[in-house]
Amino acid sequence: MLKFFAKYKFLAVVMLVLSVVIVSIMYSILKPNPTLPIYEPDMVNLELVDSTVQHVRKYHKIKDFELVNQNGKTITQKDYQNKIYVADFFFTTCQTICPIMTDHMVQIQERLDKQNDTTVYLISHSVTPTIDTPERLKAYAIQKGVDDQRWNLVTGDKKQIYELARKSYLVAKSDGDGGPYDMIHTENFVLVDTKNQIRGFYDGTNPEDIEQLMDDIELLKTL
């Protein structure tokens, strides 16, 4: 018996290696490639979606916009054309979730800078545009260490910001008390792809979600 196994030892080893290779190939073929969903309004909590778009099931994209950043520069969707970006909504006088969200945005900015990444950008929209003038946003940007080349803090027409939050980014609740365009922004960060489609929502106050966002950014670059 020992002579038999000794005789065919080499063949057995070859067959074992071959079997491992075949199993590995079959696994790689059958295993689905990682991807990210494309979020449509009907996939999101209806409280965060304007009633006019709640029924939309496909082809949803971030609408064109024209706002002003911390340097007084007009920012439009063209500034984010063919770029991946992370968006959120905040206001400079917020003392609850906004400071945490901004600190996490700063961390994202710093990590992208360390990677010498020139493909991913950031945009934060003020939900109190009458208070958050470009001058006030500039002071806030300096205080927080905002990189003007990557991150825009924007202000502008209140109706436009409201509609961006509820009809495009799907991240704000309607207040309904202080006026027709009042809203309660959420802690959500939104990941947007090069085609202006939403690819992810993340809790901007949660460090674990920030890690997931960074992983998803790397994945999105490959899709």
Binding residues for Cu cation are 94, 98, 185
**First CA to last CA distance, the chain:** 55
Question: Exposure of 61 by Cβ count < 10 A (0-12 exposed, 13-18 middle, 19+ buried)?
Answer: middle
Crossing angle of helices 98-114 and 207-222, rounded to 10°? 40
Q: In 3D, which of 216, 165, 212 has the Cα closest to residue 193?
A: 216
Q: Are 112 and 214 in contact (CB under 8 A)?
A: no
Annotated binding site, which residues?
94, 98, 185
Alpha helices in the chain, H assignment, sequence order: 2-7, 9-30, 98-114, 134-144, 158-163, 207-222
Torsion sign, CA atoms 185, 186, 191, 195: negative
